Every structure is written in C-alpha cells, then in structure tokens.
Amino acid sequence: MAEALTPRERVERAVRFEDVDHVPFTIYECMIPQCEAERVMRNEGMCIVQRGPNVFGVRRPNVLATETHTYVEDGRRRTRRLTRTTEGDLTTVDEPADFTSWHLEKMFKGPDDYAALLAYASDVEIVPSYEPFIRMSELKGGDAVMRGAVGLEPMQLIIHHWMGVETFAIEWIERRDEVLKLYDALVEERRKTYPVLAESPCKHFNYGGNVTPEIIGEQRFREYYVPNYEECCEVLQPAGKLVGCHFDANTRVIADAIAETSLDYIEAFTPAPDTDMSVAEARQKWPEKALWINYPSSVFLRSDEEMEQVTIDLLRQAAPGNGFVIGITEDMPPDRWIDGCMTINRTVREHGRLPISAD
C-alpha cells in the first residue's frame, strides 16, 4: 500500500477484508508488560488489543446491597462478594490468577437460589458510558485497537459463571424450566445493551465465547447461542459495527453452525496442533468471516526457527491473507514470550505481505 498504516489501522482494515500491507500481529493488553521488547515490537507493527473500558454500565435499582470483602486464605488472596436481592442473598468467591480469576464459589448453590437469581437477572438498567472509552482510545492512539464487549451469551453465563458444568448438567435434567427462566431474563438484559452498543464510538465487539462444544453440543449451540448472535448483529451491523466471538476450543462440532451465523469475525480461533481444526479448514468453513487466530501456545515451546516455519505455514494456509490476523490470547511460557513474539512479528512482516501464496 502507498500510505503507511498504524498498527490500529492495519487491524481495523484486516477484520473488514480491506487492503493492508501485511497480516497484522496482535496481543491482549494484559499479556505483554511495558518493557524494551514491547516498545521495539510496537515500533515494528505489533498491535495491542485494548479490551475496555466498556461502553456501557449496568445498574440494578432493586439490589438492596452489594458488599465485597478481600481476604487471604492459605496464602492466596480471595474476594467474597455478597449481593442482597429482594428474593434473597447471593454470594461468590473468586481468586485472582494473573489476567483472569478462578471462580471458587459460584452464585448458584442450589434450587433455593433460583428466585434470587431471577430477581437479580431481571433487575437491569443499561447506562451508556462512552467517555472513558473515548479517552482510552485517544491515549492509545495508533498503537492499540479498541475492542468492546457485549458480555457472555446468556446460556454461557449460566453454565460457566453461575452454576458450573456439573451443577448445570443436573439442573438441566431436574429443573430445566427454572434454568430457562434465567436464560429468558438474561436474553432480555442483552437486548437492552444492543442499542447502546450501536450508538457507541466502538467499532467492533466480541459477543461472549469460550464455548466448549463437547459440553454444549451442536443442537444446544444452535438453539441457545446462535439466536443471540443474530439479534445482536441485526442491531449493530446496520450501525457499521462488527460482531465477533471468542471461539478458542475444538470448533469442528459447531463449525457448520458458526458458518450460518451473521458474525463478522472469529476471534481467538486456535488452530492445530492445539485444537481439532487447521487454519486452512477454518478458511474453507468460514470464507466470509475474518479469522483472528490465537497463535497455538504449544508452539512457543519450540525453537525460534521452528516457530518461524509454523508461522509461515499458518500464513500460507490463510492465503491470500485478507481477513486474517494472528493474535496472542492465551498464556505464553515466561521464558519464551519475548523471543517467540519477536519471531512472529518479524515473520508476518517478511512473509505476510498480501497477497500470500499458498505454495
């Protein structure tokens, strides 16, 4: 291309299948410390993915009180959160773990919690919060691409955050009607967010993710996930926004269903050898969706020379390379992240210029 692109411009164009000089390389803001190596890679084109601040807030007018207590147990810092609803109290216990956290105690403890959870899920006002996003975007400039979040899919929130897989499986068999009441309430909550997202300054949004097909299955995915993606896309896409999803697991089981959605991009897709699909298979399955991959974490354990060859192979599988981004969305070995990221960053500049040959 004639003009020089900033890292942000390169990513924003790539996910829209627009012309770029070479395939972008991105990394989440929480996974790379400010240091000399980070500065060098940013100067050479690496783009930070700045997730947040979000463009909306949630207000629950009828939640009676929320209390948070931080304490140390067995040498580990933990946070207990108490939420008092009109139908009873709900508690959670979380343990911070680097850029994420472990949910040690879920909000749902048993059938007696359905009334309180339904009151909590139904008590929602969505409030625009654009200024913090605008300020962060201006601060980051061309060094970072800004990403918004819709929130987890309603069923995903119930399974993984409120109940846990084992408890959900029991409740789905024993008290499915109660589970679906929660699902319906959360669907309504998500519907309230879509117009606020559409009017926001953010250009693209992830809708949930971390779907585990071995647990969800294709039928449940089609029934309880896909309709939410479609409703979101119906509102956001006419406003010029892109909607994607963080599919980082084995996706072969739900690949056809994903293909039928209106999602604009597939983010965090982790190719073989770490999952059950290659980049070439993903491109064949989802030719009209931008593919924003997570570089397979296991490859970081190889030498720089081997990483270069794997990166070249990924680029060739993505040929001609439009609508393709290589990203880092998972942990990297602490003693390999600098050399590994520098190798990827250099290789996309040298071998990722469009169009890429598949030979």
**What does the alpha-carbon distance between residue 81 and residue 78 come to, in Å, rounded to a whole number?**
10
Dihedral angle of Cα 262, 218, 194, 268, to the nearest 10 degrees: -80
Q: What is the DSSP letter of 162?
A: I
pLDDT at 309 over 80: yes
What is the pLDDT at residue 2?
42
The letter for the amino acid at 291 is: L
State the average pLDDT over residues 150-176.
Answer: 96
Q: What is the CB neighbour count within 10 angstroms for residue 246?
A: 20
User: pLDDT band at 359, cuts 50/70/90?
Assistant: confident
CA gap 304, 53 in Å, rounded: 35
pLDDT, averaged across the chain? 95
121, pLDDT greater than 60? yes
- Residue 265 confidence (pLDDT) above 50: yes
Give the least confident one: 2-6, 22-26, 154-158, 219-223: 2-6
d(CA 312, CA 33): 26
Pairing of strands 88-97, 76-85: antiparallel
Of 38, 2, 8, 43, nearest in space to 24 by CA: 8
- Going from the C-alpha of 200 to that of each of 144, 237, 240, 265, 332, the distances in angstroms are 18, 13, 11, 19, 33
Average pLDDT over residues 162-167: 95
pLDDT band at 303 (very low <50, low <70, confident <90, very high): very high
Instruction: Give the rounded percent of residues in the chain with a pLDDT score beyond 90.
Output: 89
Residues 6+ apart with CB under 8 A from 184: none
Residue 169 pLDDT greater than 90, yes or no? yes
Domains and CATH numbers, the chain: 7-55+129-351 (3.20.20.210), 61-123 (no CATH)
Q: Using alpha carbons, list the distances in angstroms from residue 279 to 121, 291, 309, 319.
A: 38, 8, 15, 10
Question: Is 256 exposed, middle or buried (CB count within 10 Å of its CB: 0-12, 13-18, 19+)?
Answer: exposed
Residue 74: its pLDDT value, please? Answer: 85
Q: DSSP assignment, residue 266?
A: E
Distance between CA atoms of 274 and 28, rounded to whole angstroms? 19
Find the farthest-apart pair of alpha carbons in the chain and give their distance in angstroms, rounded.
Answer: 64
pLDDT greater than 90 at residue 14: yes
HSE-up (13 A, CA, CB side) for residue 258 = 31
pLDDT score recorded for residue 76: 87
Say if residue 1's pLDDT is above 60: no
Q: What percent of the chain has pLDDT over 70?
A: 99
User: Are 328 and 31 in contact, with CB atoms under 8 Å apart?
Assistant: yes
